[in-house]
Chain A
Amino acid sequence: MLELIFFSLLNGVVTGLLLFMLASGLTLIFSMMGVLNFAHASFYMLGAYFAYTISIYLGFWVGLIVAPILVGLLGAVVERYGLRYVHRWGHVAELIFTFGLAFLIEEVVQFIWGKDTKAYHEPEILQFPLFTFFGQNFPAYKAFMLVISIGIFILLLLILTRSRVGLIIQAAIHKPNMTAMLGHNVPLVFMGVFGVGCALAGLAGVIAGPALGTFPGMAFVLGSIVFVIVVVGGLGSLTGAFVASLLIGLLQTFAIALDYSVNDLLQLFNISFDADSALRDLWTLSLPQIAPILPYLLLILILIFRPTGLFGNRET
């Protein structure tokens, strides 16, 4: 039991921090634009595919650096020549634009790389168990993911709270007019934040690709979870995104690890059921089975009891 909790905790944090790499950019971009960027996870997917192709020719480590930069530049171009142009027609147009972009990127990915899962692997020097605990291995690559995401988290925190650029970003989000009149180029700041947000998503894709698989559906799989996170955390709140990322990361790993069913729960209260009853499927429903929908259950609960999200204060 102890090792189960230990590994679930560790895996949950790895997943949570990875999710935060996407959620942080998405929520910052939301604060600026006022709309959710449906294509955000597509940049995550592009990160994985770019890194895969680069790794074939130049190795994993070059891909780790170059792929996020490429994705970031692409994001900046999308903001500068796409979203900024669409912006004049309002939020609905922006939403439709990002929605269309998500489909477009998925189609392009399938066109170039095909529908199958790519053989994008962790580098050989990270293919060993870092340590063994109660007979269970913890892969070095997971530790590497952990180090990268913690590093990014600290960097982001320092930039946003300690640097002048961070101040200007906050100011541009809350009072764009005043910020511009103090001489700061607000559109450039927005383009930069969009680009960096996409680059972070790309980086998440680069390191998640070998662990979670590099396939055309990967944007959709993670994208919907990331949306849940920013809504649960509170739209526009970075703290909320962080807490919700960890929460959902842990929720998912624990649910998969703890193999309990409704039946076990009922037996705890000395209730037994008729094995032939029509509701049999319900009684035998187990936690790992419902793990994938747990985030959405949480979303529904939050929307009912705290519509602004855990840390949100924005009227929606």
Chain B
Amino acid sequence: MLEVTDLHAFYGKSHILQGVNFHVGEGEIVSLLGRNGVGRSTTIKAIMGEVPPHGSIKFRGEEISGLKEHEIAHRGLGYVPENRDVFPGMTVRQNLIMGIKDMKKQGRWAMEDMFKMFPNLRERADVDAGVLSGGEQQMLTMCRTLMGDPDLVMIDEPTEGLAPKIVAQVGDLLSEIAKRGVSILLVEQKLAIALRISHRLYVMGHGHMVYEGTPDELKANEQIRKEWLEV
């Protein structure tokens, strides 16, 4: 479904992505692991066109590198940024409405689904998103992207800095997303959730992939974990 080949990206003169290769299949949950600063976020941003990509990015067999961000979103790619980028001056409901790309199309998700999964969001539907807790904001950014009915959603460190109970909720939402036939590219630093829900995992080193395997294979491979993941 998503096929990235020899992807390079730059911030000014610094060469951040140095030939990234990976793919995500239809209905697959794939995790992208790695220490801070190895270029995981940049990989997603290059796919979304926020950082100019050099190389090939194919989505459903079509080249999308060079398209504008909104065009890429309309092809069916969803992006949940790492910093819980809600619209703070808008209410929860308005944030969710902002996620809808096409008012005429009924997608996999309705606002009611979000409220069922997260009663907190229903309770605070008419409250400014800026005053929500970190966990609620994380849920909101994920739900907002889902409102646009993506076929593949790329989620950047959704559990960072969250309490264990909320981390579990994030895990549940990821399972629900997968159940509805949406592919997931999950960027994480911590192993727990990624090992539990992924079909395949990649480990990223400095600007390129250094390992690819199943959760069981990675669990067994202590050397890779030591060298590239543990701090």
Q: Which of B53-61, B82-90, B213-221 contacts A (4 or more CB under 8 A)?
A: B82-90
Partner among A167, A177, A185, A186 whose Cβ is within 8 Å of the Cβ of B98: A167
A214-256 with Cβ < 8 A to chain B: none
Query: Which A positions have Cβ atoms within 8 angstroms of B?
Result: 164, 167-168, 170-171, 174-175, 177-186
B113 at the binding interface (Cβ < 8 Å): no
Q: How far is the CA of A168 from the CA of B102 in the complex (A)?
A: 13
B183 at the binding interface (Cβ < 8 Å): no
- Residue of B whose beta carbon sits closest to that of A184: B70
Contact B97 A182 (CB under 8 A): no
Contact A174 B50 (CB under 8 A): no
Contact A174 B70 (CB under 8 A): no
B99 at the binding interface (Cβ < 8 Å): yes
Q: How far is the CA of A178 from the CA of B90 in the complex (A)?
A: 14
B81 at the binding interface (Cβ < 8 Å): yes
- Other A-B pairs beyond A178-B87, A183-B70, A185-B70, 9, CB < 8 Å: A164-B103, A167-B94, A171-B90, A174-B87, A180-B73, A181-B50, A181-B69, A182-B99, A186-B70
Partner among B50, B74, B85, B87 whose Cβ is within 8 Å of the Cβ of A183: B74
- Per-residue interface assignment for chain B, residues 101 to 115, with 1 indicating a CB less than 8 Å from any chain A CB and 0 otherwise: 101000000000000
B144 at the binding interface (Cβ < 8 Å): yes
B180 at the binding interface (Cβ < 8 Å): no
B158 at the binding interface (Cβ < 8 Å): no
- Count of CB-CB pairs between chains A and B under 8 Å: 54
Partner among A167, A174, A180, A181 whose Cβ is within 8 Å of the Cβ of B97: A167
Q: Measured between C-beta atoms, what is the minimum distance from B173 to chain A in Å?
A: 18
Q: How far is the CA of A168 from the CA of B99 in the complex (A)?
A: 10
- Residue of A whose beta carbon sits closest to that of B68: A180
Partner among A175, A181, A185 whose Cβ is within 8 Å of the Cβ of B79: A181
Partner among A167, A175, A177, A182 whose Cβ is within 8 Å of the Cβ of B101: A182
Partner among B90, B103, B148 whose Cβ is within 8 Å of the Cβ of A182: B148
What are 17 A-B pairs at a CB distance below 8 A?
Answer: A167-B90, A167-B94, A167-B98, A174-B87, A180-B69, A180-B70, A180-B73, A181-B69, A181-B73, A181-B79, A181-B81, A183-B73, A183-B101, A184-B98, A184-B101, A185-B68, A185-B70
